[in-house]
Structure 1
Amino acid sequence: MTLTPQQIRTQVMDYLEATECSIIEKSPHHVTVKLSPRADRMLTDRPYYWGFVERTGVVPETLSFNFVFDPEKYDEMTNPSSSAPGTAPASNPQDSILSRYFGVAPTAPWLGPGMIRREDIIYGSKRLRQIWTAAQDEGKCLYLFEEPGARQRTTLFSASYEPWLGVCFKVEMTCDLKCEQLNFIGISLASGVIVDHFEKKLTLGSLQLTPRLPENVHIKPYEMSPTVGTERLEAYLTSKLAELDYSWAEEARERLRLELAIIDVYYEEMLKEPDEEKRLAVEEQYSRRHKETVWQYEPKVTVSAITYGLFHLRST
């Protein structure tokens, strides 16, 4: 799996906009941004500075970055003459008489308020993983409302909103191989209706979501609590998983049986060692190898909720 620079740019821009960062400059290949306090806390790893801000109450100075999504095209855009044929290479500013005799002075890192440091954000980079982790941590629990539009705010009657509990479950089927799948399921806390592929309902048409309760709307009363809704979603997902083909698990158990048989044959003579000290060491090694093989080949199905929330959508 990989992501194109454009896909990475879309994800990073979504995070920067969601955390209310200030965009200084942007292009298809980069974005220059001044982080918001919220994003700075998550991305810059400055706990001592933010502790100082909290103790003293001073206005925080957040850092600025130049995030580059396509380094090659960005360099061509910013330095078109450097790639032109026949262009003389730029002279090194430190290539002087003093540097020849006293050495080259190291360049100080470009950090601190007012400074803008370039970072290439490509698939697999540390900063991209950090943004994904921050987005996952902060977006794990949601409480959103459908944006009704300008016309609803001026109409006489308020719009009826239906509360939905949506949970994105990650199902991991593992043995010596691994398969993952996402199941985003929603249940109406007013009617009890369960909708599979709930993400399609949230992205239908031009649906916009907001964390603020819109004007001139009312929420239908809950007929069940979120706890009861969660239990019903878990039961629904369990019934779906029970219908799957688990021949892969039987095949994994057969491979496990063969691997354990090989281990038994390998250690059979070694376990007959007359020297007690050596035999105890072999038994420990045999037990450890046995447990590792069982852990590797034993089929397992693990379900976890990676994101969830209450979504208040217009009744249909």
Structure 2
Amino acid sequence: MTLTPKQVQSQVMEYLMATDCQIIEKSPVHVTVKLSPRADRMLTDRPYYWGFVERTGAEPETLSFTFVFDPETYDAVPGPRSAGGRAGGPGGAGTPHGTGGPGSPAPVPGPQAAGGRNPVAGFPAPGVPAAPGPGGAGSPPGADRAGAPAPQPGTAPGVSAAQQAELPAGVSLSGNTLAGTPQEGILSRYFGVAPLLPRLGPGLIRREDVVFGSKRLRQIWAAARSEGRCLYLFEEPGAVQRRTIFPAAYEPWLAVCFKIELSCDLKREELHFIGVSLLSGEIRERFEHTLEEIPMTPRVPENIHVQPSELTLDEGAQLLERHITAGLAVQDYSWAMEARKRLDAELQIIDAYYQELIRETDEERRGQVEEQYQSRRRETSWQYKPHIAVSPVVYGLFHLRSRPQG
């Protein structure tokens, strides 16, 4: 079994919409989203941060992601992305200024200033000899004592007008500040100016490829199963019902999706979604077909009346269990008989091998061989012995208008 990129995108979008995430940008192959606090708790694995938010009452800062569902098509589009970019790609998030592709900001001038000095930190660049001091040979007229040209009007000290003009709009070189990033004076004196890096934390939009089999997709499935295991929904009554005088009567239904595992050395799984009316005791197979065309809401709609249940939830659950057990009793179990035959054949091979080995083993090692023999028989029996397991996957209480079966 596999899923196409379109099917993966559909499932991921359903989860993002259900958890009230903010969609920033969307295309047929990707979506850029800012997670809601509910989704951030489930997907980002930041228990310490959310513990801090709960203790202090601070406003939570959730993370943003670009989920790519078709990486080949997404990467084939040239140029930077408008939201987040391609992580580590040309012009995308994670690429310092001056290293991007077409459309990237102009490169920041390096340490090739007058006198071989870095115009930002004011120390000699590696591999470039220092310029003479003030008034020394080779110093151009009007140069300062560091050997850099005199600042022009409207520019910062140590930065020429040409260098300032090459920088992107809103970015300036001023003292120990580069592109709005403050530099520690003592650190820059000994270690140089730190290179431009992308912002870390909530402001960074990270790219993740979400394809069938990826870790992030499995995580989203696990979060959906955990949060969507139990449902309590009402049918939308529609605009006409809201304007009528008499309220509509709603019938409560208990529905359970059972997973049946038929296992031996092979395995088969079946899903059975069954519903029972808590008013009449009627049982409907394939209850998902009843729900798929009905708009549902988690809130009690206007102008409706929920009828009181004649059966309790425990009684309804027992009816469903008896129904699923009765269905299993009439299935074809020829597969189990075949598995029994394969089990007997494997046990005969194991018995023949170990009985001969036990006879040839001395008394000191015979106990170890017998223990290994019994362990091997248990493993083979567990592998080949047919068994059936039934477990509920999703269950919920649905309030619906009365409808005829079929």
Matches within 5 A, 1:107-256: 111-204=200-293, 207-256=294-343
Structure 1 residue 72 displacement after superposition: 1.1
Structure 1 residue 140 displacement after superposition: 0.4
Is 1:299 paired with 2:386?
yes
Matches within 5 A, 1:275-294: 275-294=362-381
Matches within 5 A, 1:14-163: 14-79=14-79, 90=101, 111-163=200-252
Q: Contact 1:110–1:117 (CA<8 Å) still a contact in 2?
A: no
SS of the counterpart of 2:211?
A: coil
Aligned partner of 1:208: which letter?
P
SS of the counterpart of 1:55?
A: helix
Structure 1 residue 107 displacement after superposition: 9.2
Superposed CA deviations along residues 245-292 of structure 1, whole A, max 9, x for unmatched, are: 001001101100000000001111211245233111111111111100
State the superposition RMSD in angstroms. Answer: 2.5
Could you say if the C-alpha distance between residues 184 and 113 of structure 1 is closer, same or farther in structure 2, counting changes exceeding 3 Å?
A: same
Could you say if the C-alpha distance between residues 78 and 9 of structure 1 is closer, same or farther in structure 2, counting changes exceeding 3 Å?
A: farther
Superposed CA deviations along residues 172-212 of structure 1, whole A, max 9, x for unmatched, are: 000000000000000000010000000000013xx111110
Per the alignment, residue 353 of structure 2 pairs with: 266
Figure out how many residues of one structure are paired with residues of the other and give that number: 304
Q: Mind listing any 5+ residue stretches in structure 1 that lack a counterpart?
A: 83-88
Could you say if the C-alpha distance between residues 57 and 261 of structure 1 is closer, same or farther in structure 2, counting changes exceeding 3 Å?
A: same
| Range with bigger deviation, 39-48 or 107-116 | 107-116
* Counterpart-to-counterpart distance in 2, 1:11 and 1:78: 27
Could you say if the C-alpha distance between residues 97 and 5 of structure 1 is closer, same or farther in structure 2, counting changes exceeding 3 Å?
A: farther
* Counterpart-to-counterpart distance in 2, 1:138 and 1:38: 10
Identity among equivalent positions (%) equals 63
Superposed CA deviations along residues 206-250 of structure 1, whole A, max 9, x for unmatched, are: x11111010110111100001100000010011111111001001
Aligned partner of 1:36: which letter?
S
Aligned partner of 1:278: which letter?
R
Per the alignment, residue 3 of structure 1 pairs with: 3
TM-score, length of structure 2 as denominator length? 0.71
Q: Contact 1:110–1:116 (CA<8 Å) still a contact in 2?
A: no
Higher RCO (CA < 8 A, seq sep 6+)? 1
* Counterpart-to-counterpart distance in 2, 1:314 and 1:212: 16
TM-score, length of structure 1 as denominator length? 0.90
* Counterpart-to-counterpart distance in 1, 2:376 and 2:198: 49
Aligned partner of 2:344: which letter?
R
| Range with bigger deviation, 45-54 or 142-151 | 142-151
Structure 1 residue 153 displacement after superposition: 1.3
Could you say if the C-alpha distance between residues 145 and 63 of structure 1 is closer, same or farther in structure 2, counting changes exceeding 3 Å?
A: same
Structure 1 residue 77 displacement after superposition: 3.0
* Counterpart-to-counterpart distance in 2, 1:137 and 1:126: 16
Could you say if the C-alpha distance between residues 252 and 218 of structure 1 is closer, same or farther in structure 2, counting changes exceeding 3 Å?
A: same
* Counterpart-to-counterpart distance in 1, 2:382 and 2:371: 17
Q: Contact 1:111–1:117 (CA<8 Å) still a contact in 2?
A: no
Could you say if the C-alpha distance between residues 109 and 273 of structure 1 is closer, same or farther in structure 2, counting changes exceeding 3 Å?
A: farther
Could you say if the C-alpha distance between residues 275 and 307 of structure 1 is closer, same or farther in structure 2, counting changes exceeding 3 Å?
A: same
Aligned partner of 1:161: which letter?
Y
Aligned partner of 2:318: which letter?
E
Q: Contact 2:233–2:296 (CA<8 Å) still a contact in 1?
A: yes
